[in-house]
Amino acid sequence: MSRLSLATVLALAGTAPALAAGPALPPTPVYRLPPERVGEPAFVQVSRSGFYVGTVTGAAFLRPQRSRFDPPTTGLVLRTDYEVAAYAAGRLGYAFDPLFGTIHPRVEAEVGYASSAVDRYRIGTVATPRVDSFGEARALQGYVNVMFDMDVGLPVRPYVGGGVGAARVQLRRQGTSAAGVVVDAADTGFAYHLDAGVNLDLAQLGTSPLLQGTTVELGYRWTQAPDLRFGTRDGGGFEADYQSNAVTLGTRKSF
2-11, 52-61, 82-91, 129-138: range with lowest mean pLDDT? 2-11
CA dihedral sign of residues 147, 250, 83, 174: positive
Question: What is the pTM assigned to this prediction?
Answer: 0.77
CB 173 within 8 A of CB 186: no
pLDDT digits (tens, 9 = 90+) for 185-227: 999 999 999 999 999 999 888 888 888 999 999 999 999 999 9
Query: Whole domain around residue 214: which residue ranges?
Result: 2-254
The predicted structure's pLDDT at residue 125 = 64
Structurally, the chain folds into a number of domains equal to: 1
What are the φ and ψ backbone dihedral angles of 174, each rounded to 5 degrees? -90, 140
Whether pLDDT at 40 is above 50: no
The predicted structure's pLDDT at residue 174 = 92
Q: Read off the CATH number of the domain in which 34 is found.
A: 2.40.160.20
Extended beta strands in the chain, E state: 50-62, 65-69, 77-82, 85-95, 103-123, 126-127, 133-150, 157-176, 180-201, 214-231, 237-254
> Measured between alpha carbons, how far is 59 from 62 in angstroms, rounded to an integer?
10
pLDDT digits (tens, 9 = 90+) for 104-135: 999 999 999 999 999 988 876 666 677 688 99
Q: How confident is the model at residue 76 (pLDDT cuts 50, 70, 90)?
A: low
The predicted structure's pLDDT at residue 176 = 84
The predicted structure's pLDDT at residue 85 = 94
How high is the mean pLDDT of the chain? Answer: 83
User: Helix, strand or coil for residue 179?
Assistant: coil
The predicted structure's pLDDT at residue 132 = 81
Task: List residues bridging with 106 in a β-sheet.
Answer: 95, 147
> Taking every pair of C-alpha atoms in the chain, what is the biggest distance, in angstroms?
140
Instruction: Provide CB contacts within 8 A for 214, sequence distance 6+.
Output: 201, 202, 203, 251, 252, 253, 254
pLDDT digits (tens, 9 = 90+) for 224-251: 999 999 988 878 888 999 999 999 999 9
CB 201 within 8 A of CB 215: yes
According to DSSP, residue 97 is labeled P
Whether pLDDT at 36 is above 80: no
The predicted structure's pLDDT at residue 142 = 98
According to DSSP, residue 42 is labeled S
Cα 141 to the chain's mean position, in Å? 17
CB 149 within 8 A of CB 104: yes
What are the φ and ψ backbone dihedral angles of 24, each rounded to 5 degrees? -70, 130
The predicted structure's pLDDT at residue 79 = 86
Q: How confident is the model at residue 26 (pLDDT cuts 50, 70, 90)?
A: low
